[in-house]
Amino acid sequence: MSSASNCPVNETKSMSLFERYLTLWVGLCIVGGIVLGKVAPGIAQTLDGMAIYVNDAPVVSIPIAVCLFFMMYPIMVKIDFAEVLKAGKAIRPVGLTLFINWAIKPFTMYAIASFFLGTLFLTFIGPEAVDYVKMPFGADLAVGAEYGSGKVVLIDGVKMLEVPLWRSYLAGCILLGIAPCTAMVLVWGFLAKGNDGHTLVMVAINSLTMLVLYGLLGGYLLGVGKLPVPWQALLLSIGVYVALPLVAGFFSRKWLIASKGETWFREKFLHVLTPITIAALLVTLILLFSFKGETILNNPMTILWIAIPLLIQTVVIFALGYVLSKMFKLTYESAAPTALIGASNHFEVAIATATMLYGLSSGAALATVVGVLIEVPLMLMLVKFCVRTQNWFPHQANSDPDPLKSATTNTVSE
């Protein structure tokens, strides 16, 4: 694995104002979206109506597609794919991270979310409560036909699928569980004083792996949950929200570094992109909550019912990654990012996919937004846990474990 000196340290030196208070911004967007939905309910519907339709079903909302592209592109342009080729030098941490992300995490998410949403909290959510989601891309089903656990109905002249509400929430949780490692994990890894090279490589490898496994695992687990599995839309979402920004990021990175230099790219270009990414996320959230405002006002505990299984899943996966790192005798610098990468979710992709597959107003999209709401404070707590327990692991040569706590404190409070 390359040393930390070979990775873009400047990208993760500190959290920006947006990143540091992301939970606050998300909270304000929830309030703003709910208010917008009550005061001017036609605005969000009009924007979402600017969509590409297939067989009378809205498949791609153009305004949301633009916002979500700007969420994903800055993540992809940060990746130096030359680092991926060096990953073979550290088989154990890379292999363990991939195993947790793709062989364990999707299935524990399904199991935990199914138990809480479909059993423990079902009475509170409402056994008879339903949600209306998009028709599967390319499907031409008659009104009244059944598809998965859903039934085709006509809503305002548009064919939709009527599905149990708790299953719609489950779909959002599944999409979060199969979307590991956000760009924010670069911040978590830095704050925990982990191996920046390992973190960066895993961001790149997970982005590439998602091109294949996201669609396969998503389709399988959604099918197991008796949910509509719009395969064409699932693959289309991967192409639009992963492959397209990945390719754009790869080529624009090469061109910008060649023409402007690496220093300008890291210190100027990436600095400008970060607030654009989160601004696009926040605009999407305002639209989302303007649709779901009535549901939240009628049942404000909805956020809690979704948040509890997501929180438990995050802690379970983090603990598993940390314990296995100890068993595999990894250094602290590799163990911390391994556990944090597994715990963190690629919520940009999850929101994008839920919106494309099921609609901006779906329970699935709401569940992915709850993931954003709890991630920042929870991940900061896990970072602090890593720092306090670093003596459980050996350290890399030339690393000084003593100043970690002060370095973390200074970074967060600056």
12-50: per-residue pLDDT in tens?
A: 445 566 666 766 777 788 788 888 877 877 776 676 667
d(CA 147, CA 115): 23
Q: What is the dihedral of CA 284, 285, 286, 287, to 10 degrees?
A: 50
Give backbone dihedrals phi and psi of 64, rounded to 5 degrees, phi first: -70, -40
Residue 313 pLDDT? 95
Q: What is the largest CA-CA distance in the chain?
A: 67
Give the DSSP letter of residue 162: E
Q: Give percent of the chain above pLDDT 90.
A: 19
Q: 């370095």: which residue's tokens? A: 407
What is the rounded average pLDDT of the residues 363-387? 86
152, amino acid identity: V
Residue 280 structure tokens: 């696009």
What is the rounded average pLDDT of the residues 185-199? 76
Q: Is the pLDDT of residue 400 over 50?
A: no
Are the beta carbons of 296 and 38 closer than 8 angstroms?
Answer: no
What is the rounded average pLDDT of the residues 198-213? 76
Instruction: For CA atoms 251, 257, 94, 240, give the dihedral sign.
Output: negative
d(CA 161, CA 163): 6
Residue 345 structure tokens: 């979710």
Residue 205 structure tokens: 């490898």
- What angle, rounded to 10 degrees, do the helices at 62-77 and 196-224 form? 140
For 31, 177, 346, the CA distances from 25, given in Å and listed in that order, are 10, 23, 18
Summarised one tens digit per residue, pLDDT across range 251-294 is: 999 899 999 888 888 888 887 876 777 777 777 778 767 766 66
Name the pTM for this structure.
0.73
What does pLDDT average to over the chain? 77
Rg (CA), the chain: 21
Q: DSSP letters along 77-107, please?
A: HT--TTTGGGGGGGHHHHHHHHHIIIIIHHH
